[in-house]
Amino acid sequence: MYLETKAIHAGRKVDPSTGAITLPFHPSTTFERSADGSFPSGYEYIRDDNPTRHAFETAMAALEGGQAAVAFSSGMAAITAVFEGHASKGNRIVVPDDMYFGIRSLIDETDIGHRFDFVAVDMRDMDALRAAVGAAPTGLVWIETPSNPLIRIVDIRATCDLAHEAGALAVVDNTWATPVLQRPFELGADAVVHSATKYIGGHSDLMAGVVVLPEASPLERPLRMIQRHKGSVAAPFDCWLALRGLQTLPVRMRAHCEGAQKVAEALRKHSAVEAVLFPGLPGDPGHALAGRQMSGYGAMLSFIVGGGAEAAMTVAGRLKLVVRATSLGGTHSLIEHRASVEGPKSMAPSGLLRLSVGLEHPQDIIDDLQQALSVAG
C-alpha cells in the first residue's frame, strides 16, 4: 500500500462488534483472565500492553517501514530509552554538536550525563565524524536531520555507514521530516525516533514518543523492558489521538511544506532579515543533500533578524497571527526565540527566530511576518 493508505488503515480495522470505522478507545487498565488463568485477548495490564497503544505502534512501524515500534510517554522518554537500551553496545554516544536542547539538558541535568560518555561533533563534517566515532569504542551514533534550530542537513547514509564500520548503532530522529519526507531505514538506520507530540499528532493536543525498529533489532527487548518496568508508556488516549493525526499526516505535510517554501522565499527578500535557514532555498548549504534524501524540505525554518536579540524579540512580540509558543508541527504557526529559551549553551544566534509553519494560508503568515518585521527594517 502507498503511504497515504497505510496512514489510514495500518493497525486499524473496522470494529467487528459495532461496525465503527474509527478505532475504539480502550482506557482499561486491566483485562479479564479466562477460567484457566490465561489471557485469551493477549492483554493483561496496561503497562505491559493496551489495544490502543498496540494499534499506534503497529501503524508507526508500517509507516516507517519497520518491523516493530515501542511507544513512550514523550519524545524525551523515547530518546532516553534509546540511550539506555543500547548500553550493551558500549557507553560512548556520538551526538551532533547542535543537538536538540532537550538532549543537552538531559545530559547536563540528569544521571544520563554521568552514565554515558557523550561526544559532540558537527556531523556535516565526515572527517570530524570519522575521527569522533573511531577515537574509542562507540555504541551509538545519534543523528538529527534537519537539526533544531539551525536546520542543518546531515547525510544519513554516509553517517550510518561510518557508524556501522565502527560497530555502532545509528539512530535517526525523524520528528521534523516524518516518514512522509524521509525514509531513514532505506538509508541504513538501525532505529527511528519520533516525538509524536509534533507532526504525528499534528494538532498540539497530545504528548507521546515512539521508537521504530527493523526486524531482529537488538534494541527491541531492552526498549520493551524499559517501557514496561520503568513505566514510561504512552497513554491510550494520547495513542488514540496520534492515530487520528496519522490519518491526515501525508496531506498535512504536503501543505506544511508548500507553505514553508513560500514563507522562506518571502523572508529571504526582506531587508530586516539577515539570513533564512531553510533547505528548500537553493543557496542553503543543505539544499542539494536534502533534495537527495528527502522528498520535501519540511516546514521548519529559522531566520535571523538584524539587530540581535532585542530586535528579534520585538518582532516576535508584534506578531498577531503567528503564535509565540514552544513546540512545532501543529496546525498553528508557532515562533520562538531559541537563544533565550535555551540559555548560555545555545548555539542559536542571538537574532534567530525559529518558525514552525502551520496550516494557515501562506499569504496570511507572510503578511503577519512582514508587518512585525517592519519595525526592524
Strand-pair partners of 144: 173
Q: If you search the block for the grid coordinates 533578524, which residue do you land on?
A: 305
Strand-pair partners of 276: 303
Contact 89, 116 (CB under 8 A): no
| Nearest CA among 247, 227, 203, 189 for reference residue 54 | 227
Strand-pair partners of 309: none
**Interior angle at CA 26, CA 216 and CA 19, nearest 5:** 100
Q: How many Å from the N-terminal Cα to the C-terminal Cα in the chain?
A: 50
Residues serving a catalytic function are 47, 100, 173, 198
Residue type, 135: A
Residue 84 has a CB neighbour count (10 Å cut-off) of: 16
CA within 13 Å, CB half, 368: 21
Query: Is this structure's pTM higher than 0.85?
Result: yes
Query: According to the model, what pLDDT value does residue 376 have?
Result: 72
Residue 260 has a CB neighbour count (10 Å cut-off) of: 25
Query: According to the model, what pLDDT value does residue 377 have?
Result: 63
Upstream peptide bond of 149 is cis (omega within 30 degrees of 0): yes
- Compute the distance between CA of residue 137 and CA of residue 94 in angstroms, rounded to an integer: 11
Strand-pair category, 117-121 with 92-96: parallel
| Nearest CA among 150, 149, 177, 142 for reference residue 250 | 177
What is the length of the chain?
A: 377
Contact 153, 146 (CB under 8 A): yes
In b/e form, how buried is each residue of 32-67, taking b as 16+ CB within 10 angstroms? eeeeeeeeeeebeebeebbbbbbbbbbbbbbbbbbe
SS3 of the chain: the string is: CCHHHHHHHCCCCCCCCCCCCCCCCCCCCECCCCCCCCCCCCCCECCCCCHHHHHHHHHHHHHHCCCEEEEECCHHHHHHHHHHHCHHHCCEEEEECCCCHHHHHHHHHCCHHHHCEEEEECCCCHHHHHHHHHCCCCCEEEEECCCCCCCCCCCHHHHHHHHHHCCCEEEEECCCCHHHHECHHHHCCCEEEEECCCCCCCCCCCCCEEEEECCCCCCHHHHHHHHHHHCCECCHHHHHHHHHHHCCHHHHHHHHHHHHHHHHHHHHCCCCEEEEECCCCCCCCCHHHHHHHECCCCCEEEEEECCHHHHHHHHHHHCCCCEECCCCCCCCCEEECHHHHHCCCCCCCCCEEEEECCCCCHHHHHHHHHHHHCCCC
Q: What is the pLDDT along the chain (377 residues), one digit of tens a residue?
A: 999 999 999 999 999 989 999 999 999 999 999 999 999 999 999 999 999 999 999 999 999 999 999 999 999 999 999 999 997 777 999 999 999 999 999 999 999 999 999 999 999 999 999 999 999 999 999 999 999 999 999 999 999 999 999 999 999 999 999 999 999 999 999 999 999 999 999 999 999 999 999 999 999 999 999 999 999 999 999 999 999 999 999 999 999 999 999 999 999 999 999 999 999 999 999 999 999 999 999 999 999 999 999 999 999 999 999 999 999 999 999 999 999 999 999 999 999 999 999 999 999 999 999 999 998 76
Upstream peptide bond of 218 is cis (omega within 30 degrees of 0): no
- Compute the distance between CA of residue 25 and CA of residue 302 in angstroms, rounded to an integer: 38
Q: Which three cell numbers stand for residue 15?
A: 470494529
